[in-house]
A = this chain, B = another copy of it.
Amino acid sequence: MTSTTGSLDPKDPESAISAAALRCSNRGRWGEDDVLGTLNFLTEDKRIAGAACVRRGVAFSLAQRFDTNGPQRGWRRRTNPVHTMLTSGLDAEFGPPEFPHGIGGADDVIFMPLQASTQWDGLGHIFDHGRAYNGRRASQVVTSEGDQLTGIETAAGRIAGRGVLLDVGRVVGEGGELPDAFAITEAHLEETIAAEGPSASVGRGDLLCIRTGQLARTRREGWGDYAGGPAPGLSFTTASWLFDREIAGVATDTWGVEVRPNEFEVAFQPLHQVAIPHIGLFLGEMWDLDALGDDCARDGSYEFWLTAAPLPVTGAVGAPVNPIAVK
């Protein structure tokens, strides 16, 4: 397996980003007031088609577990979720009765960064030179009180449609896994589609899941630097492919969708800088695609009905999600 990033000048991310942003812009495509970006591609007919993918009735959660034993290490104050009980079964069994007729209850709370585990990046998550999706000024979209326009709640009822798994780890990698720092190019994506067959076609309105295998490796070897360290992922050069396919969203089993280290000498997530503010593309991160990948390999069908409904936290720039794939 080989990975090429084509003609990128590793010393000049600014030029590459601005060129990609120009080529791959959906600015104004759905009007000045649009808050949905590529979710506009996920129309009702796409849902009807997606529902036809339910053939065996088998369901998969694509979420990791939300708890303290997660990958976060505090970078940018991103800790792992902390779940605590307000009352427990011990109170119910041994504590003073809180309620009549023998009923007891347990309750709980959580504190977590919204990007702690399996999540969607919303359109307010990333800016390009101070500009958010649709050319808006970042400061007028996301204040300290949250995203005033494109908060994740605007997408609350939208993200249900046809899902497609491109198991690049299985097709291109060895042992089902791509190594860290492996950049997935357009060629790898097309190779995977070809290998998987017709069910893996990718088109307008689809919710694309790309499995690299890194999570499987992490599960085996420990978190290490899963959250932010080296990882396989999409090459910056796939921006055009993502744009041209008119997909509704793309998710991976890695922390940040993109190959890490990034393909420029000094860089930080350049594909995000094109994908979110210019394409208006929803990015899913830290999804668990392993069981789904195994099933797809078994039955040869890589499409499914996918519901990936973000928790509608008002004004959130991203949100945890428990995506459910049904085949």
- Chain B residues with Cβ under 8 A from A156's Cβ? 61, 63, 322
Tell me the bound Cα distance from A173 to B17 in angstroms. Answer: 58
Q: Is A130 an interface residue (CB 8 A)?
A: yes
Tell me the bound Cα distance from A142 to B160 in angstroms. Answer: 34
Q: Is A140 an interface residue (CB 8 A)?
A: yes
Q: Is A220 an interface residue (CB 8 A)?
A: no
Cβ distance A222 to chain B, nearest Cβ, rounded Å: 14
Q: Is A55 an interface residue (CB 8 A)?
A: yes
Tell me the bound Cα distance from A90 to B114 in angstroms. Answer: 19
Q: Are B86 and A77 in contact (CB under 8 A)?
A: yes
Q: Are A312 and B87 in contact (CB under 8 A)?
A: no
Interface size class of A (residues with CB under 8 A): 35 or more
Known: A103-B128, A114-B108, A138-B92. A66 touches B313 (CB 8 A): yes
Q: Are B90 and A270 in contact (CB under 8 A)?
A: no
Tell me the bound Cα distance from A119 to B115 in angstroms. Answer: 20
Cβ distance A237 to chain B, nearest Cβ, rounded Å: 16
Cβ distance A261 to chain B, nearest Cβ, rounded Å: 12
- Chain B residues with Cβ under 8 A from A30's Cβ? none
Tell me the bound Cα distance from A258 to B100 in angstroms. Answer: 16
- Chain B residues with Cβ under 8 A from A107's Cβ? 76-78, 113-115, 125, 317-318
Of the candidates B76, B145, B322, the one whose C-beta lies within 8 Å of that of A312 is B322
Tell me the bound Cα distance from A247 to B111 in angstroms. Answer: 33
Q: Mark A92-112, 1 if CB is under 8 A from B, else 0.
A: 111110011111111111111
- Chain B residues with Cβ under 8 A from A90's Cβ? 88, 90-91, 94-95, 138-139, 142-144
Binding site for B on A (CB under 8 A): 13-14, 17, 43-48, 50-52, 54-61, 63-69, 74, 76-96, 99-115, 124-130, 132, 137-147, 153, 156-160, 264, 266-270, 272-273, 305, 307, 309-318, 320-324, 326
**A-B pairs with lowest CB-CB distance, top 3:** A44-B57, A89-B138, A61-B157
